[in-house]
Amino acid sequence: MSRAARKVYLHVGAPKTGTTYVQDRLALNSRRLAERGVNLPNRRLFADPNLFHFRAALDLLGQDWGGPPGHADGAWPAMVKQVRRHSGTSIISHEILAPAPQEKISRVMNDLQGAEIHIVYSARDLVRQMPAAWQESIKQGRKWTFDKFLAKAERHSLWFMRAFDLPTVLGNWSANLVPEHVHVVTVPQPGATGESLWDRFCQVFGIDPQWAPLESERTNAGMGVAETELLRRLNRRLDRATRSTGAHEELLRSMLDRVDLRNTRKVQLPPEHYAWARAETERWIEWIEGAGVHVVGSLDELRTGEPPSDLAPDPNRVRNKKITNAAVHALAAMTNEAARRPDPSRELGSRIRAHASRLRQP
């Protein structure tokens, strides 16, 4: 096999740019893609490749969260082994890789040496990006208000902003790569016609969209204003360390996955932050044009227009009636979820009776 026969596409982010959808669609069609020479590395047959990629990213970065202690140990070497076994195209994707420090990036390049490496980064306008990032942090158990979140964002003191800092992220990841191997995929504006986000990723990965016909239903959708404030208040009542372990986190995640939490107006960026968003965007575009990297989509899709005239209510000053309605809706959903789950004591009794029955058999 020639050195150029193996290609590795590293999709390193950014968060909140349709990554959940893209990763899930790749996973759903992984067997069909494998038949075409496109490898989505997985640790075990029929396992969830997205979980494997998450753990590989954690292991590479020396982090250990989102599961029991040690759950990511050895995942990155296992990922590298899977890539080396494949002679065609491999895709590695997780957004927590975006702000990786230089020494971790150097390890990636050393571990994957001999392959033609491509860096893929998806970007979205900050008017949509900032509300989505704040809501994601609330889903993860944070308690801060949108105002406080934005103040920290403008000081670049948030993990999200390190992941959104396109010039720094791509400057680090693209060192020693030719511009043609660095790809920026812009996220289409709502209601836009033409290429979909999936079409754009297919173009970068060298995939014919017909190779992956199964559609993903996962979008990691945003929440309404009242629903977000409800969850933020719930986080204030629940200790974050307790919530992040065991049944608390699993139950909340299940609710967020199953329940439509968009019954009220969506969270919007306040007008006073538009000037900052414009300045950040122009800094991104200036870097992209200067670096000469490959762009799929239009850089104009990243630009911020004028604030809408019908802004949603301030997410930190939502009427109590709306929050109460959201709470009742969420409580009903969580009650249905709890009722759907099997009773552990009954399950144990059934297993004991089944075991006793087997023992009585001649």
Domains and CATH numbers, the chain: 3-127+157-219+272-308 (3.40.50)
Report pLDDT for 280: 97
Q: How far is CA 127 from CA 286, 302, 304, in A?
A: 19, 9, 7
Distance CA(249)–CA(226), nearest Å, equals 21
Distance CA(227)–CA(208), nearest Å, equals 39
| Model confidence, pTM | 0.86
Report pLDDT for 1: 37
The one-letter amino acid code at 305 reads G
Report pLDDT for 183: 98
Ordered per-residue pLDDT tens for the chain, 362 residues: 344 479 999 999 999 999 999 999 999 999 999 999 999 999 887 789 999 999 999 999 999 887 788 899 999 999 999 999 998 999 999 999 999 999 999 999 999 999 999 999 999 999 999 999 999 999 888 999 999 999 999 999 999 999 999 999 999 999 999 999 999 999 999 888 889 999 999 999 999 999 999 999 776 667 888 888 888 988 888 865 555 555 555 666 666 655 556 567 889 999 999 999 999 999 999 999 999 999 999 999 999 888 888 777 777 788 888 888 888 877 787 777 777 777 655 555 565 555 555 545 55
Q: Per-residue DSSP letters for 56-103?
A: HHHHHHT---SSSTTTTTTHHHHHHHHHHH-SSEEEEE-GGGTT--HH
Report pLDDT for 69: 87
3 state DSSP class of 261: coil
Burial degree of 302 (CB within 10 A; 0-12, 13-18, 19+): buried
